[in-house]
Structure 1
């Protein structure tokens, strides 16, 4: 599916895979394999942002995926995020959706909010939030409408 379908149909918290369609190189070609992995991977959908204008330039809508974390001993040093605009030539697929009743923790209210945690329920979200410093956090429960949005206007989202 295209990037615009992910933007339109996939709920925040979904696991999304992306691919350029090329075959995976053998392990012995480390540089080629590393380059391939940047164009073929997966991550959790954490943010969607609509079209913006900066001066006379118009920026297309985009979405951001959390690919992973780097660190040691329980300390995260670097978060790996990938941002894709709707004109991306890559192919995307929704691999998993957030479970019904799970609770998303956003870093702030509003349209520019970013998902920082996906908990199993409201109590788990509150416990996680008490251990992490997000003073303006917003909790949002995953609804049946979002989970059931596999097919909208004849377009399939999985």
Structure 2
């Protein structure tokens, strides 16, 4: 699917795979492999930003995938996120959608909320939020109407 469909239809918390359609180079070609890995991977959809128009410039809508956190002894040192414009030439695929009843912990920053945690239920989300303080955080349950696989996969509901 295109980046535009991800932005328009895929719910926050979904795991998305992205690729450029090229074959993975052998490990011995380190630079080529590093370049390939920057255009082929997987991440969780954590943010969608609308297009911006200002007097001096405009930018298209974009979304952000969280690929992972790296650190030691429970401390996150680096959080890897990649942001894609709806004009991206990459192809995207949904690997996993959040299940109905899961609860998102969202932080209200700027124009759009950002996913900071996805919990299996409200109790787990409240427990996580009590241990991880975020200003302007709130909970949102995943509902049946936002996990519409038929629209995303190009089928129409009967």
Q: What's the CA shift for 1:119?
A: 0.2
Q: What aligned pairs does 1:25-44 form with structure 2 within 5 A after superposition?
A: 25-44=25-44
Residue in 1 aligned with 2:151?
A: 152
Does structure 2 conserve the Cα–Cα contact (< 8 Å) formed by 1:3 and 1:92? yes
Deviations 1:83-104 (A, max 9, x none): 0001101111111100110000
Q: What's the CA shift for 1:154?
A: 8.0
Partner SS, residue 8 of structure 2 = helix
Q: What's the CA shift for 1:66?
A: 0.3
Residue in 1 aligned with 2:50?
A: 50
Residue in 1 aligned with 2:130?
A: 130
Q: Mark the CA change 1:154 to 1:120 in structure 2 (over 3 Å): closer, same or farther.
A: closer
Task: List alignment gaps of at least 5 residues for structure 1.
Answer: none
Task: List alignment gaps of at least 5 residues for structure 2.
Answer: none
User: C-alpha separation between the residues in 1 aligned to 2:114 and 2:153?
Assistant: 29
Does structure 2 conserve the Cα–Cα contact (< 8 Å) formed by 1:62 and 1:85? yes
CA RMSD of aligned residues (A): 1.6
Deviations 1:24-73 (A, max 9, x none): 01122222111111100010000011111132311100000001112111
Q: Mark the CA change 1:58 to 1:35 in structure 2 (over 3 Å): closer, same or farther.
A: same
User: C-alpha separation between the residues in 1 aligned to 2:153 and 2:127?
Assistant: 40
Residue in 2 aligned with 1:19?
A: 19
Partner SS, residue 152 of structure 1 = helix
Size of the alignment, in residue pairs?
155
User: C-alpha separation between the residues in 2 aligned to 1:131 and 1:12?
Assistant: 22
